[in-house]
Amino acid sequence: MNNHYDIIVIGGGAAGLTAGIYLSRAKVSTLILNEGAVGGQMVLTHEIANYPGIENISGYELARNMKTQAQKFGCVIKSNIKITGLKLNGELKEITINNKDTFTSHAVIVATGGKPRAVGVPGEEIFKGKGISYCATCDGDFFTDKEIIVVGGGNSALEEAVSLTKYASKVTIVHQFDHFQALEHYVAEAKSNPKINFVMESKIIEFMGDESLRKVRIENRATNEISEMNVNGVFIFIGYVPNTAKFEGMIDLNEYKEIIVDKNLATNIPGVYAAGDSIVKRYRQVTTAVADGTIAALSASEYVNNLKKELVTV
């Protein structure tokens, strides 16, 4: 088995798959290594309605189409693996998976994305999967005709709150501020939905229950008043934490553990690029991840081509 590729992409979300499409179509031998199922955060999105040229599509379907397209051009994808070794310095990069197979490449694109940010209060770990969810698409139908809470005030929180009204009898949005950070049309859509209620300037301070979640304790940040609310489920949408822990000490990160890149999406290590939700950026959308994947692919491809020319000259 040939374990050497021109470029290895770590991560199979929107950014990683886009990089795979661009690279393999340009006849650059490419391997995508993905810990978990391919698609990243896309597969957790009920509906994507602002992807250019597509009126609406499920995140799962878009991820599947991207994967198929990359493989059609010859990109090799290995998913549900565990990266157990990394050597990123030097001309030849080495990545070991499952403590067994080692793959080498001239360049690496890090597109590991992020994971849902936890509230971080008592009971959250206990009731994960037992009433607490971070994915409306995955778990929404479990709460048909039930009363639920959505935590958050950004685009994802309000969009998913609206989508959850298809199942739940009542959706209460709990947000720590007195205003939303979401775009106005998401706010307007949520406010016009009769099934949605709002608890502003408040935060959940404890999850409680028995076999499953039964109630939450809520603190009003303005008055410090504490109340309890009976609830069947809580969906948490308060952002993501970059999946960059394995690169600490190798790639330069900022205080939020996001990867620092230049305009070409190059990191501090020659031949290592980064794209998507794991990098320093203001906006995190499928379209911005796709753009990052394109730029990283073109930059990494140029780096590899120049490196090969140097080796031939020598």
Domains of the chain: 4-115+240-313 (3.50.50.60), 118-236 (3.50.50.60)
Question: Residue 35 pLDDT more than 80?
Answer: yes
The SS3 assignment for 305 reads helix
Q: Which of 138, 141, 178, 262 is catalytic?
A: 138
- The reported pLDDT for the residue numbered 68 is 97
Strand intervals (E) in the chain: 4-10, 30-34, 76-79, 83-87, 93-97, 101-110, 114-116, 132-133, 147-151, 170-174, 196-199, 202-209, 213-220, 226-230, 233-236, 240-242, 272-274
Residue 75 a catalytic site member: no
Q: Which of 6, 139, 277, 292 is catalytic?
A: 139
Question: Residue 116 pLDDT more than 70?
Answer: yes
Among all chains, which residue has been given the structure tokens 């698409």? Answer: 137
152 Cβ neighbours under 8 A, 6+ residues apart: 158, 173, 175, 236, 237, 238, 239
Q: Which of 6, 75, 101, 135 is catalytic?
A: 135
- The reported pLDDT for the residue numbered 169 is 97
Residue 139 a catalytic site member: yes
CB 240 within 8 A of CB 44: no
Q: What is the pLDDT of residues 138-162, one digit of tens each?
A: 788 899 999 999 999 999 899 999 9
pLDDT range class, residue 190, cuts 50, 70, 90 = very high
Question: Residue 314 pLDDT more than 60?
Answer: no
CB 280 within 8 A of CB 5: no
The SS3 assignment for 135 reads coil
Segment 44-51 mean pLDDT? 78
Cα→Cα distances 6→3, 191, 301, Å: 10, 51, 8
Segment 166-188 mean pLDDT? 96
Query: What average pLDDT does the chain have?
Result: 94
pLDDT range class, residue 313, cuts 50, 70, 90 = low
CB 240 within 8 A of CB 117: yes
- The reported pLDDT for the residue numbered 236 is 96
CB 183 within 8 A of CB 49: no
Question: Residue 192 pLDDT more than 90?
Answer: yes
Query: What pTM was computed for the model?
Result: 0.78
Residues 288 and 278: their CA atoms lie apart, in Å, by 12
- The reported pLDDT for the residue numbered 162 is 96
Cα–chain-centroid distance for residue 126?
23
